[in-house]
Amino acid sequence: MSKELSKTYDPRDIEPRLYEKWETRKYFHAEVDRSKKPFTIVMPPPNITGQLHMGHALDNTLQDILIRYKRMQGYNALWQPGCDHASIATEVKITEQLKKEGIDKEDLGREKFLERAWQWKEEYGGRIVSQLKKMGSSADWDRERFTMDEGCSKAVEEVFLKFYDEGLIYKGNRIVNWCPVCQTTISDAEVEHEEQTGHFWHIKYPIVGSDDFVTVATTRPETMLGDTALAVHPDDERYSHLIGRSVILPLVNREIPVVADSYVDREFGTGVVKITPAHDPNDFEVGKRHDLPVINVLNDDATINENGGKYAGMERYEARKLIVRELEEQGLLVKVEEHVHNVGTHDRCGTTVEPMVKQQWFVKMEELAKPAIEALKTGDLQFVPDRFDKIYLHWLENIRDWCISRQLWWGHRIPAYYCDQCGEMVVAKEAPEACPKCGCTHMTQDPDTLDTWFSSALWPFSTLGWPEKTEDLDYFYPTDVLVTGYDIIFFWVVRMVFSGYAHTGKSPFHTVLIHGLVRDSNGRKMSKSLGNGIDPLEVIDKFGADALRLTLVTGNAPGNDMRFYWERVESSRNFANKLWNAARFIMMNLEDRDIETPEDFHLKLADRWILSKVNTLAKEVTDNMDRYELGIAVQKVYDFIWDEFCDWYIEIAKYRMYSREYDEDSADYALWTLKTVLTQALKLLHPFMPFITEEIFCTLHPDQESIMISDWPVYQECWNYAIAEEMMDAVKDVVRGIRNVRADMNVPMKKKVRVFIVSDNRGTCEMFETVKNSFKILVGASKIRVQTDKKGIGEDAVSIVTPKATIYMPLEELVDKEKEKARLTKEMERLEKELARVKGMLSNANFLSKAPAHKIKEEEEKLSKYAQMMEQVMERLAFWK
C-alpha cells in the first residue's frame, strides 16, 4: 500500500480536510432520481442569531447518523437544511446593536431598520451553518433555505390568503401572551415557565345586601382592578347560596356577580375564584360563557391604565404593593401565604409575561386539528418513543386559536391593507389601487408581522418548492423522519402536521424521533444564567467531532435526557485512538502482500468466529437503526471493535503472523480476515464517527472514493458460523479463567507455565486440540496439553472450572513458595501496624469528640478495609503452609 496512516490520530488534521473533500465531490447533494427510493429529513432550522450549543449538536448528530445510514443503504438521501429568521431574537439583537451606536429604532424607521436586519443576516446568519459543518453534518448545503427567502415568503403569503378566504384566519380580541419589554405578543414556545416563590393574598369581597363576605385568594392582586365576577363550582355546597348574587369589588367599589362554573377547582385556595377576563386565559373563557365584560387595566408597558382609577400610571408591581397596603388598612386582607408557582417569562428578555386581551390576528384551530389527531390514531404518524403520543393528543384536543401577529418589523408582514379614509380592510397580495368601499386611494398596510412559527410550520414542503408543483416536492415529499427535542412538540411539530394536511393532504413525515436535553454533569439544564453551558466547538477543538458525536449518542435513548461528562469525551477519544492503532497495525502487516480471498476450509476457528460475529453485528445494528435505537446500535459496534476485534481477534492473529508454528498461508488468511472485518466494522461505525472511519477506510482501500458512498453491510448466510462462535466462547472462558487466577496470585504474564485442559468429552478435547496454539500467547503458557483425565497433573495444581472443561496449572510454576510467603508476611506486618493505628484513633475519646464527622467516618472505612485485607492475607499464608 502506498498510502499510510499517520503515526498518531489527529482529528484537527483529518476532519477539515475530509469535510472539504465531501463537499467538493457533492456527496451530500441529492437530485431527483426515479430509479432510487428517496429518504428525506428536514433540518429543524436553527435561528440566524444562533450559536451552536449542545442541543443543536445532539439534534444534528442524530439526523446525520440517520442520513448517512440511509445513504449507505442505497437510498437517495436528502437532508434539507436551512435557517429561521427568528423575528424576536433577531430584532432584539439589532436593536441592541443600534443602541450601542446611539440610534433609536423608531427614529431609524422601518425601511432603514429592515436594511440593517438584512445586512445583519448576511454577516451573522451563516455562522451556525459553518459550526454545523464542523460537526460533520452531511446536509445538502446546495439546497440551503431561509424562512424569508423568496420561495418561503411566497408560501407564507399563499397560506395566509388561503386561510383568510376560507374563514380560518380572522382579526379579533382574544387573550395573548404579551411581553411588556419587547412590546409584542409572543408564542407559547417563547414563554418559559419557571418556579418562583410568591404569595397568596386572601382578600375579603363583601357580599351585597349582607354584612358577610367571601374570601378570595390571588397571586396577582393588581389584576383585581379588572375583576368582572367571582366564580364558584356549581356543586360546591359551601357557596351555592351565593350563585346569582353580587359582591363589592374592594378598592374599586364596583358590584360584580357571583357565577357558577365547573372550571373552578373546589380543592384549591378557598374554592372561590376571581374572574379577570382581560388578564387570564381561563378567565377569558369563563367570561365568554357568562357574557362578562372585559376590562383591561394594563398599558403595553405593564403600567396601570386609566381603567385602574387612582392607580393609573403606576408600574404593575408598585401598584401591587399599594393595593395590598390599602387592603390591609381597610381590614380586607385576611392573610398572606407563601406560595411556589410557575411564572411565565419571555425566553428572550426574561420579563414576566402578561396575559392580555389584544386585537390580533388568529388562526381558527378546531377544524385544522382534526386531521392531525387522526394521523396519530391511524398510524400515518408515529412518535418514537410512543409515550409522547399523549402529549401531542392532549395539546391538539385542547387547542386554542393561534395568535399569529407580532408587533415587530423583522418578519413576514401581514398582507392586510386599511383605508386611510374609512378604515375598510382588504386582505390581498398587494395593496389595492383604491378602497373598494369609499374609493380612497390611500391604503396603509398592517404594521404587524407574522409569528415565526407560521413560516416554519410550512418548512417540510415550502423548502421543496410548494406552492409550486415541483418535481422535488413530488419526489422527496412527504419526508420520512423529523428529529427534534421534546420541548417543541406542541409548538412546531403539531403546526407542521396540521399544515401538511391542510396544504398537501398528507402528513409531512411518518416518524417523529424525540430526543431529550443535554444536561450538565449534575443533571442541571445548561443555561447562560447558571454558566454551565458547554461549547461544542471547544469539545471539537480538544477531542475532535467524532469523539463529541460518539459521546452524544452513546447511551442515548429516544426521549430521555442525558448528562454531559468530559470524562466520557475522553473515553470516546480513547476509543478512536484504539481503532486508529489497530488499523495501523493491520495496514503495516498488509504492506506489499497480495492476499487472495481464502476458501472456507482455509479459515481457522478464530477467523470463522470473528466473521460470524461481525455478520451478526450487521444484522443487529441494522435492526436497531431501523427502530431508531441509535444508542444501542453504537454501543454494539463499540463493544465489538474494542473487545471482540481488538482485544481478542487481533491478539490471536498476532500469534499466527509471528509464530514459527504457523505457515505463511495461515498468516495471510488472518490478514485477509483482519482487513475484511475491519472494513465491515468501519462501515457500521461510519454514521456515528464519519471522519476517522473515512480516513482509515480510504487508506485501507485506496481504490475506493469514500466510505460514505460504500454499501452498508448486510447479513450473509455464508458467514454464519454458529459452531465456531460456540467453540470460541469456550476458548474465551478458558482464557479469562487463567488470566483471573494469574491476577489473583500476582503472577506476571511473562512468567510462562504449563496449562492442562481436561474434559471427558472427546469432541471437546478435539476442539481444544485444534485451537490451543491460537490462544497460547493470551494466557502466558509455555505449553498446552489437552487430555481426558488428570494423568501427569500434580495434586497441588491450581484448577479452574469452565462450562466445557477444567483447567489445571502446576502451582510451583506459578509461584515461588518461599518468596510468596515472605511477601505475604511483610504485607501482614504492614497491615498489623495500620490496624493498630486506626484502632487507637477510634478508641481515643479526644479524637472522637473533636474530629469532624467525615474524618471519623473515613477512619472507620479504613478499619473495615484493612481488616478485610488482613483476612485475605492470612488465608493465603495458611494456604502456603
Q: Nearest Cα to 121, choosing from 85, 81, 80?
A: 85
Give the integer Cα–Cα distance in Å for 616 and 543.
31
Close Cβ partners of 200 (under 8 Å, ≥ 6 residues apart): 217, 218, 219, 269, 336, 337, 338, 339
Tell me the residue type at 337: E
Give the integer Cα–Cα distance in Å for 440 and 420.
7
Beta-bridged to residue 184, according to DSSP, are 179
Q: DSSP letters of 732-760?
A: HHHHHHHHHHHHHTT--TTS-EEEEEE-S
Q: Which H or E run includes 811?
A: helix 811-814
Close Cβ partners of 610 (under 8 Å, ≥ 6 residues apart): 644, 645, 648, 649, 673, 677
Close Cβ partners of 684 (under 8 Å, ≥ 6 residues apart): 617, 618, 621, 637, 713
Listed in order, strand segments (DSSP E) in 285-381 are: 333-346, 354-363
Paired sense of beta strands 76-80 and 38-42, if any: parallel
DSSP one-letter code for 117: H
Q: Between the CA atoms of 675, 680, 686 and 687, what dihedral angle is there, to the nearest 10 degrees?
A: 180
As to burial, measured by CB atoms within 10 angstroms (0-12 exposed, 13-18 middle, 19+ buried), residue 91 is buried
CB 143 within 8 Å of CB 43: no
Secondary structure of residue 268 in the 3-state scheme: coil
CB 219 within 8 Å of CB 341: yes
Q: How many helices (H) and strands (E) does the chain have?
A: 30, 29
Secondary structure of residue 549 in the 3-state scheme: helix
The alpha-helical segments, DSSP class H, found in 4-100 are: 11-24, 54-72, 87-100
Q: Nearest Cα to 490, choosing from 387, 393, 597?
A: 393
The dihedrals phi and psi of 149, each to the nearest 5 degrees, come to -75, 175
> The C-alpha cell of 760 is what?
471427558
Give the integer Cα–Cα distance in Å for 869 and 239.
74
- Residue 151: HSE in the Cβ half-sphere, 13 Å Cα cutoff: 18
862 is in an annotated binding site: no
Question: CA-based Rg of the chain, rounded to a whole angstrom?
Answer: 37
Close Cβ partners of 481 (under 8 Å, ≥ 6 residues apart): 41, 66, 509, 510, 511, 512, 513, 628
From the annotation, which residues make up the binding site for ATP?
A: 528
Binding residues: 528
